[in-house]
Amino acid sequence: MTKGIVLLAFGFRGYGFAAYNLAVSIRAFNNTIPICVYHDDIAFSQIETEKLSVFTEVRLMPKELIYNQGKFDPGFTKVNLYGLYPYNLNLYLDVDTLCLKDIAPLFEVMESKPDYFYTHIIATHTIDKGKDFTSMQWAWADDIWEHFKLSKDDIFYATNSSYQIVRKGAKAKKFYDQIKKNYANPIPVDKLRMKWGGGQPDELYMNAALCQLKIPAQMDTDVMFFGGDLRFTFTEIEEKFYFLSMYGAGGSNVSTTRMKYREWYDRLLHKHFQNNREAHIYKSQYIMAEKHANKRK
């Protein structure tokens, strides 16, 4: 079985910076796991060509997956991920992520899992609990139930899809086809609780597909630490999790990831680059400032 990591870097230079940082952090612990990155000319415009050797495969992102009806639409790209997966077993990672330790044991866990899709499940909701699904920020529950014609017994998921574990096959393709179908019939933007970069959030339509197909997608392994959590020390995070995520917005007016973790991200990278006799140039401030989540209208 082929297996590897899949990254996307397009639209903004910051995503190219983040993808390079993530790959360097993975290579600090593991030199063998394949890393495939899809990019456009913007993302890698300020990264020297020789640095791209940190990736196993560097592929140009098809423009038809970046632009949806002529409009830049990263949500559209993410719901079309299935066609980009190059391996039988894929670990997709948002590039605003840092590796904290050797991921070989994680791939051993992934290979032992029987199902075809896993991601981070924050919480679940049923409509009898009311319209406010606090853990799922994209839309109100009553609008979700009405739009997707869900039953009163259906269970809806709140996910953070910064990582996705996908075993390719007919079932996984059916799941992603359902996500695409949902995205093509979106809840009107003006009814959303929160927009993603001024547009549609791919997670909402993934959540709906998980509900519609009744997929138990929760991993029982701690994969990723999200930087809004203050329960753990840095040492505990490194011992417990494989990745640090700097998810969400990060502009001057709003930040989903706390500053202490953004600073830690840079300290860890400084060590990795120092070991490589390289300067840590692509710092968190440049990445967070260019995130799509900050492009809200």
134-148, pLDDT tens digit by residue? 898 899 999 999 999
**Confidence at residue 255, expressed as pLDDT on a 0 to 100 scale:** 58
pLDDT at 253 over 50: no
pLDDT at 171 over 90: yes
Q: Between 259 and 293, whose confidence is greater? A: 259
The structure tokens listed for 142 are 């009553």
The mean pLDDT value for 73-100 works out to: 96
**Considering only 101-105, 193-197, 211-215, 219-223, which range has the smallest mean pLDDT?**
193-197
Sign of CA dihedral 9, 10, 13, 15: negative
**Confidence at residue 297, expressed as pLDDT on a 0 to 100 scale:** 41
**Confidence at residue 152, expressed as pLDDT on a 0 to 100 scale:** 94
For residue 296, the 8-state DSSP code is -
Note if the pTM is more than 0.85: yes
The mean pLDDT value for 56-75 works out to: 93
At residue 3, what are phi and psi to the nearest 5 degrees?
-150, 150
In which band, very low, low, confident or very high, does the pLDDT at 219 lie, cut at 50, 70 and 90?
A: confident
**Confidence at residue 235, expressed as pLDDT on a 0 to 100 scale:** 97
CB 211 within 8 A of CB 179: no
pLDDT tens figures, 40-54: 999 999 999 999 999
Cα angle 270-275-279, degrees, rounded to a multiple of 5: 45
- Sequence-distant (6+) residues with CB within 8 A of 240 are 222, 225, 232
**Confidence at residue 16, expressed as pLDDT on a 0 to 100 scale:** 96
Strand partners, 36: 6, 57
Q: What percentage of the chain exceeds 70 in pLDDT?
A: 95
In which band, very low, low, confident or very high, does the pLDDT at 227 lie, cut at 50, 70 and 90?
A: confident
pLDDT tens figures, 89-115: 999 999 999 999 999 999 999 999 989
- Name residue, tokens 């590897």: 4
**Considering only 7-21, 140-154, 182-196, which range has the smallest mean pLDDT?**
182-196
pLDDT tens figures, 150-161: 999 999 999 999
- Mean pLDDT (the chain, rounded): 92
What is the biggest distance separating any 2 CA atoms in the chain, rounded to whole angstroms? Answer: 59
